[in-house]
Amino acid sequence: MKLLITGTAGFIGMHLAIRLAYEGHEVTGLDNINSYYDANLKYARLAEQGIKKEDILYNKLLKGFENIQFIEIDLQDAGNLNALFAKQQFDMVINLAAQAGVRYSITNPKEYINSNIIGFYNLLEASRNFPIKHLLYASSSSVYGNATKTPFSEEDDTDAPISFYAATKKSNEVMAHTYSHLYGIKTTGLRFFTVYGPWGRPDMAMFMFTENILNNKPIKVFNSGDLYRDFTYVDDIISGVELIVNGSSSQKEMFQLFNIGNSKPVKLLDFIYAIEEATGIKAKLDFQPMQEGDVKITYASTDKLMKQYNYKPGTDLKAGVAKFVSWYKAFYKK
């Protein structure tokens, strides 16, 4: 299939582009390479796909490794986005481009309107005007807010997000539903649960904890460590998305939502213990109160994805953490 994957300078996008290209799909990656965090990490991810930093020019299509192309475009640029769709005639679009970060959304909400709402709208319009077979897009476990019923199920109420980031992800789901209903576009939203692994984002706990532990700096532990996250290793996430891509033609529903996680919530302190074990260094813990926008627990029910696509995450937490720490030490020469 001919695929457009947005956000391929990002964490999940890089892994997915490489996997699907390796499996024989024709992948065009798209990213705006913004400055939310160190752009050098983004360029390094693109290099893993055969895209050289010095060759990147805005709105120029580049050839990477086998079956991979890349173009720098911002989803807010509707004109160039539509021109790309008109020229390439994609079969499927996988939207992983978004302004990420729960805490950043509290102080910079407009960034989330521009990227997550306007950008997603432009993508929906392009998918309507230059018809595709299927649109997959990243939603988030954050749409469940501080739900007390666990595990979280796709049928649960999601009308009470507690961060603006979560509100934009909920909005994406509603927008996708409308386009499926009005224009017959098949859409599938993927509610990701705390993805971690090599090439991860610097604003995520896995990265920040490892960085500070290796540099003998204290790590901030919110709510005295009494938080639970459904940590999901990136390879398990990629395998789940791949199952949906390859089984797309069998999906009859025009609008679908899936949780994609590990279904095994881990206490934050136990996560830190795993990093300590992988680094061989005892962490200095700086206990902090609960932060605005944070949720106490994420816990995915993945029964729906397992039943429909045979999704089975299998990476042990300690093994996954060890792989991240090994990558981090090699990449940053620690």
Gap between the Cα atoms of 84 and 87, Å rounded: 5
**Please, where are the H alpha helices in the chain?**
11-22, 39-47, 78-88, 102-107, 109-112, 119-129, 164-183, 205-214, 234-246, 268-279, 303-309, 317-331
Catalytic residue chosen out of the listed positions 104, 137, 144, 165: 165
Is 165 known to be catalytic?
yes
Q: Which residue has the tokens 């796709």?
A: 154
**Please, where are the H alpha helices in 248-311?**
268-279, 303-309
Gap between the Cα atoms of 92 and 94, Å rounded: 7
Q: How much helix, strand and coil, in percent to the nearest 5, is found in the chain?
A: 45, 20, 35
Positive or negative, the Cα torsion across 43, 44, 45, 46? positive
Q: What is the DSSP letter of 243?
A: H
Tokens of 121: 């709208």
Q: How far from chain centre, in Å, is Cα 247?
A: 20
Residue type, 15: H
Q: What is the DSSP letter of 95?
A: E
By annotation, the residues acting in catalysis are 165
